[in-house]
Amino acid sequence: MNNIISSKAKIGNNVRFGNFVTVYDDVEIGDNSTIESYCEIGYSNGREKMSLTIGDNAKIRSHSIIYQGSVIGNNLMTGHHVVIRENMQIGDGFQAGVGSVIMGETVIGNYVKTGSMVEIGQFSKIGNYVWIYLNSYLINDLYPPSDTIIGPEISDYAILGTACIIMPGVKVGRNSIVAAGCVLKDNLPDNQIAVGNPNRIIGPISKIKIPGTDQDAYPWRYRFHRGYPADVVDVWMKEEHEDVSKS
Amino acid sequence: MNNIISSKAKIGNNVRFGNFVTVYDDVEIGDNSTIESYCEIGYSNGREKMSLTIGDNAKIRSHSIIYQGSVIGNNLMTGHHVVIRENMQIGDGFQAGVGSVIMGETVIGNYVKTGSMVEIGQFSKIGNYVWIYLNSYLINDLYPPSDTIIGPEISDYAILGTACIIMPGVKVGRNSIVAAGCVLKDNLPDNQIAVGNPNRIIGPISKIKIPGTDQDAYPWRYRFHRGYPADVVDVWMKEEHEDVSKS
Amino acid sequence: MNNIISSKAKIGNNVRFGNFVTVYDDVEIGDNSTIESYCEIGYSNGREKMSLTIGDNAKIRSHSIIYQGSVIGNNLMTGHHVVIRENMQIGDGFQAGVGSVIMGETVIGNYVKTGSMVEIGQFSKIGNYVWIYLNSYLINDLYPPSDTIIGPEISDYAILGTACIIMPGVKVGRNSIVAAGCVLKDNLPDNQIAVGNPNRIIGPISKIKIPGTDQDAYPWRYRFHRGYPADVVDVWMKEEHEDVSKS
């Protein structure tokens, strides 16, 4: 046995460990979770002593680091080399892609998913069912370096495409889409599309059709369900479709 | 001995290991290879049991992870913290820069080289002697999130500069250059240069001269040979130069 | 004890180690330093045998790799998963963010700080008190791939915002600001702001006021002192303010 698991950690039933794992004090890990090799769970920021709670069915891929001081729901899934910092409040079903950095002091809803190498800055607020693709960043310093930190706010079902930058304090509306490579400086209302650097807002998401058809591609939840729990999908299937042709 | 090497792995002659290495079942590693510290070789995606074959002379730098289910040629070289996922077919001489993420289901030719923090998305097709610089991405989802995944195709000798995004299904021609910071939405024919976000195609690669001279800088293989095998360079030196003044 | 510390390493007083640490030969680590878990210190590039000197009070976060062949001052602080390569000359107070890659052959002054996932290319020259934010890159190859490598030069107090690219050989002036998402191809004189891809230079830094006030936000050293030593701040507080209304 080459793992170093604190005797003060509370490990649920049927939790599996890889090799060379470190679990620190005051960590609680839910049932049926997997902590893969070379992970550190309950890492201290060296300033204050805090606990860490991770729900059931977590799958924490190898070489990841999760700090003390957060409460994380069920069904957490990380890629490799992920860092999740302190004082987070994270819902169920959070997925962080390979090499992503989730800075502390952030509130994240349910079933938020990120691609690889994303950074979510401190004091961001992220709703439910948000997608943040590969290499997108939420930043927070209005005139860097400063202590005036204002995180972006991302509403439910929004999509941040590859390599977007969401500027400090900027709000992204419900169902809205920030296209790949966009530097978003303006608030984006509900159901709108932003593109470019600096951003232009080019109209409602109803403009985007599934290629080769006249069917709306967005809101995506009416057509894409892989990886979501049955009860969530059931609500999506039964709800009256939102009118997203204007914001 | 602090390494964990499966007895079901086939390790070639003169293979050296660092410390705290994990090698799983059904891995075959060629002669004269080096697997550095904290690496995981033959990591399972948890869905199916597959083998992994890595050729001779591999140098896998520390903290890297290579999944099961791929066949990788000779002379593999990774930077630190690299992830290479499953079901890859990779030729000889592949180099992946520090922190790069090579997603699964991809075909990569011979002597493809990447900078740091590159991501190659699933179902990409990459020819031979391609350069993909620092922080460039090949993405694949036409209207995310969807199951309509179409990877880009990159032809022989192409160059993707720093922080490019190659959009889903986009083709980059032979010898062509995508400049740093370009978001490439249009197919780029052979021997052409693309710049900007969104891309503009600004003409043939013959426009670029070696600074201070009137010599063509491209195709690069007529002037740059470091790191390529002698037999490959010999062909380049003896071939009639391509006419790249138009595509 | 699961650490592997070379008997040829010189370890200062009160140095603490995490778990599964590797320290190679010819490494000197100053007093009161911390080397966290899964770090490799004194990694060899495999070509030549060199020493590594790290000053006092270093805090090297877990999963980081520091090569042989550098001299690094006091108060080094790295994020997790950082790579610092060979033949570096680095001053006091260097901070490298999570996942950053500091390539070799680079000169870095005092109290330079980077965000996450930065890459500083070989042969860059960086002055004192420079900020390089998240995902910014200093690149160095004029017509890649080539052996004509010319690193950028960044002057004292300059700020490179999130996701900037500084092109090969480009100079950024004292106090100057490169805005988030900028691809900087032109030299930026002292006290100027650059934005966009490709860059536009939009005027002196005196244009930027602290929001809601008519106070200059820049040069930042007259208003932001967190994390700097008292003697440095004292000089800043007492110096006559620079006239930055023109370059």
Per DSSP, the residues of A141-202 read BSSSS-S-B---EE-TT-EE-TT-EEPTT-EE-TT-EE-TT-EE-S-B-TTEEEETTTTEEE
B237 touches chain A (CB under 8 A): no
What's residue A5's pLDDT? 96
Q: How far is CA B25 from the centre of its chain?
A: 25
Q: Is the pLDDT of residue A98 over 80?
A: yes
Contacts of B142 in chain A (CB under 8 A): 211
| Average pLDDT of every residue of chain A | 96
Q: Is the pLDDT of residue B1 over 70?
A: no
Q: Read off the pLDDT of each residue in C147-165 and give the average, rounded to a whole number.
A: 97
In three-state form (DSSP H/G/I as H, E/B as E, the rest C), the secondary structure along chain B is: CCCEECCCCEECCCCEECCCCEECCCEEECCCCEECCCCEEEECCCCCCCCEEECCCCEECCCCEEECCCEECCCCEECCCCEECCCCEECCCCEECCCCEECCCCEECCCCEECCCCEECCCCEECCCCEECCCCEECCECCCCCCCECCCEECCCCEECCCCEECCCCEECCCCEECCCCEECCCECCCEEEECCCCEEEEEHHHCECCCCCCECCCHHHCCCCCCCHHHHHHHHHCCCCCCCCC
Q: Read off the pLDDT of each residue in C180-204 and give the average, rounded to a whole number.
A: 97
User: Could C135 and B135 be called an inter-chain contact, meaning their C-beta atoms sit closer than 8 Å?
Assistant: yes
What's residue B247's pLDDT? 56
Longest dimension (CA), chain C: 59
A14 touches chain C (CB under 8 A): no
A167 touches chain B (CB under 8 A): no
How many Å lie between the alpha carbon of B77 and the closest alpha carbon of chain A? Answer: 19
C196 touches chain A (CB under 8 A): yes
| Average pLDDT of every residue of chain C | 96
Contacts of C198 in chain B (CB under 8 A): 196
Q: Read off the pLDDT of each residue in B176-190 and give the average, rounded to a whole number.
A: 97
What's residue B245's pLDDT? 85
Q: How confident is the model at residue A247 (pLDDT cuts 50, 70, 90)?
A: low
Q: Is the pLDDT of residue B85 over 80?
A: yes
Per-residue pLDDT tens over the stretch B120-177: 999 999 999 999 999 999 999 999 999 999 999 999 999 999 999 999 999 999 999 9
A197 touches chain C (CB under 8 A): yes
Per-residue pLDDT tens over the stretch A26-67: 999 999 999 999 999 999 988 888 999 999 999 999 999 999
User: Could B63 and C163 be called an inter-chain contact, meaning their C-beta atoms sit closer than 8 Å?
Assistant: no
How many Å lie between the alpha carbon of B236 and the closest alpha carbon of chain A? Answer: 36
B19 touches chain A (CB under 8 A): no
Contact B127, B146 (CB under 8 A): no
Contact A119, C117 (CB under 8 A): yes
C18 touches chain A (CB under 8 A): yes
CB contacts < 8 A (A, C): 90
Q: Is the pLDDT of residue B114 over 70?
A: yes
The Cα–Cα gap between B100 and B106 comes to 14
The Cα–Cα gap between A41 and C226 comes to 29
Per-residue pLDDT tens over the stretch A203-232: 999 999 999 999 999 999 999 999 999 999
Q: Read off the pLDDT of each residue in A107-128 and give the average, rounded to a whole number.
A: 98
Chains near A, with 3+ CB pairs < 8 A? B, C
Interface test with B, best of A81, A114, A213, A236 (most B CBs within 10 A): A81
How many Å lie between the alpha carbon of B183 and the closest alpha carbon of chain A? Answer: 7
Nearest-CA residue of chain B relative to C183?
Answer: B181
> Closest to A119 (Cβ–Cβ): which among C116, C180, C196?
C116
Q: Is the pLDDT of residue A99 over 60?
A: yes
Contact C176, C189 (CB under 8 A): yes
The Cα–Cα gap between B128 and B145 comes to 30
B1 touches chain A (CB under 8 A): no
Q: Is the pLDDT of residue C143 over 60?
A: yes
Contacts of C38 in chain B (CB under 8 A): 20, 38, 63
Contacts of A117 in chain C (CB under 8 A): 99, 117
Q: Is A137 helix (H, G, I), strand (E, B) or coil?
A: strand
What's residue A1's pLDDT? 57
Tokens representing B200? 């503009």
| Average pLDDT of every residue of chain B | 96
A202 touches chain C (CB under 8 A): no
C240 touches chain B (CB under 8 A): no
Q: Is the pLDDT of residue B83 over 70?
A: yes
A158 touches chain B (CB under 8 A): no
Q: Is the pLDDT of residue C216 over 80?
A: yes
> Closest to C224 (Cβ–Cβ): which among A43, A146, A167?
A146
The Cα–Cα gap between B216 and B224 comes to 12
> Closest to A40 (Cβ–Cβ): which among C37, C115, C134?
C37
User: Could C63 and A38 be called an inter-chain contact, meaning their C-beta atoms sit closer than 8 Å?
Assistant: yes
Q: Is the pLDDT of residue B58 over 90?
A: yes
What's residue B171's pLDDT? 98
What's residue C88's pLDDT? 95
What's residue C46's pLDDT? 86
Q: Is the pLDDT of residue C247 over 60?
A: no
What's residue B49's pLDDT? 86
Q: Is the pLDDT of residue C148 over 80?
A: yes
